[in-house]
Structure 1
Amino acid sequence: MQDTPLTVFAPGAWNRSSAYDNFRNLLSHRDIRSLAVDHLSNGADPPNQGLSEDSHRFHQVILDLADQGNRLVLVGHSYGGMVISTAAAGLGLEERSKAGKPGGVIVLVYMAAFVAERGKNLRDLIGGRLWSWMLTDGNYVRLDPNVDLIQDVPDASKAKHMFPHICLPAFLEPATQEPWHTIPSVYIVCEDDEALPSSIQYSMIKSLVNPRVFRLRSGHSPFLSMPMETADILEEVCK
């Protein structure tokens, strides 16, 4: 069993895993091991990948890490919350320990993220239709370039680590798992979020079982806009 937990990031829609490079470097200086995993649905062409493919890929990554004896902290940002919920099923540390297996997930961290109860999809959680700044063309979903959803992030960082589109099935496939019943959970509320309003974040927290809740006066991507404060939270979570 590894001495320190390993934090694994599931990015949001349109986000590349490289968006976490600077933040992960900051974490490493706090002796927090981490990695970030790209989603298949981000940038896929043809746009035929969705939540099931993303979750399967993420599940395989964290299963391998658990089998190596790692205690895992899963951090889902935005759409990534849907991914960690499906991928973590059956991989909780306590459940694996009882089965005589090493490693496992010790906590689920939802960072301004979607928490979907079984049978609901992301579109359901935002009122049953995609928002106006989500521009659809067949199964391509692109961001409206005239809308700034991460208002507190420096301009130089805004488009640097973005895919041009995400596949529509990522928003339409329903959640199949509710791992927070057996794995502890954390929610990081971003109070100034213009992409996923805090009112919706608070409504989704109600689905979790006795979660720890942290609040940041941040926009949608606190690992970019408030990295020190976000690192403080993860450092607390990883203790």
Structure 2
Amino acid sequence: MSSAPTLIFVHGAWHGPACWSNVTSQLQQQGYRCLAPQLEFCGTQEPVQSLAGSIGQVQDLIAAETTQGNNVVLVNHSFGGCVGSSSVKGFTQKDPSKLGPGSGKVVGIVQICAFTPASKTALYDIINLDTPFHHSGPDGWELIDNGEPIDLFYHDISPEDAQQWKGRLLKHSSASFKDRESVYAGWADVPEMMVAAARDAGADFTTKSLDASHSPFLSKPNDTVGFILEALGDFDQKSSRS
């Protein structure tokens, strides 16, 4: 059996890495190296103007791990799917242009309620602009102005916990939702766990449903861990055959 890959967790819009803590703690106990960066598309003092910096943050982590010979799996949530998928460019068996001799590689992507965009496709090209729960504000931040965050993200956890997580939401850059140039369909380069359009485009997909809110890592962390472990087993089998 091959050595365990490093897991890089990419959070979604308005969130930070703490949202993964119930999942990463379990996986670390099972021997997995887990990295969960705070990405600059939210939480900065001023809104960033593209996704390039956030993608670069993840690519720096991928490069550091693969240079040491470690394989990597990206675990992306929601908007993090745009960033995580874009970050694998050059680090896969299909496109090893950023890998050196003896390097590890990105062997898979796990999408959890995550967007799977085509290259050069912004989030605003994907969502239904007639009924979004968020809009661009005049100061460059994306505002949740058409919905209650607890109902949108946390409706199946306790009211006390939901209120706590609502209070931890961060400001999110509007420009990151509109950036097309930085987005790359990296899901086509490695096996991925999200679907019809991407599968038709040649992606290797396995899907699984879970009766949970948009934040299953909070409401059903054990099931989320099980889903990730199932994906890792699938990636390991496919990697050993290639």
Superposed pair shares fold, TM > 0.5? yes
Q: Which residue of 2 aligns with 1:179?
A: 186
Aligned AA for 2:123?
A: L
Structure 2, unaligned runs of 5 or more: 234-242
SS in 2 for 1:108: strand
* Higher mean C-alpha displacement, 124-133 vs 36-45: 124-133
Cα distance in 2 for partners of 1:165, 1:126 equals: 19
Query: 1:89–1:179: 8 Å Cα contact kept in structure 2?
Result: yes
Unaligned runs of 5+ in 1: 188-200
The superposition leaves residues 29-60 of structure 1 with CA deviations (integer Å, 9 ceiling, x where unpaired) of 33333121111121222212431111111111
Q: Please tell me whether the aligned partners of residues 15 and 170 of structure 2 are also in contact (alpha carbons under 8 angstroms).
A: no
Quote how far apart the aligned CAs of 1:94 are. 6.0
Q: Deviations over 1:184-207 (max 9, x none)?
A: 1112xxxxxxxxxxxxx7766665
CA drift of 1:101 comes to: 3.8
TM-score, L = length of structure 1: 0.83
Q: TM-score, normalised by structure 2?
A: 0.82
Displacement of 1:127: 2.3
Aligned: 1:87 with 2:87: yes
Deviates more, 1:71-80 or 1:125-134: 125-134
Which amino acid counterpart does residue 170 of structure 1 have in structure 2?
A: S
Spell out, residue by residue over 1:119-171, the C-alpha distance to the aligned partner (whole angstroms, 9 max, x if none): 21001110246713446343111334734212112334334473431000110
Three-state SS of the structure 1 residue aligned to 2:110 is strand
The answer to whether 1:4 aligns with 2:4 is yes
Work out whether 1:215 is the aligned partner of 2:209.
Answer: yes
Q: What is the alpha-carbon root mean square deviation over aligned residues?
A: 2.6
The count of corresponding residues between Structure 1 and Structure 2 is: 225
Is contact 2:188–2:203 with CA below 8 Å preserved after alignment? yes
Other structure's SS at 1:210 match: coil
Counterpart in the other structure of 2:143: 142
Q: Which residue of 1 aligns with 2:44?
A: 44
220-229 or 90-99, which deviates more: 90-99
The question of 1:21 aligning with 2:21 is answered yes
Identity of matched residues, %: 24
Per residue, is there more helix in 1 or in 2?
2
**Equivalent AA in structure 2 for residue 224 of structure 1:** L
Name the counterpart of 2:158. 154
Q: Return closer, same or farther for 1:129/1:41 CA change in 2, 3 Å cut-off.
A: farther
* Aligned-partner Cα distance in 1 for 2:130–2:82: 17
Question: Relative to total residues, which structure has the larger strand share, 1 or 2?
Answer: 1
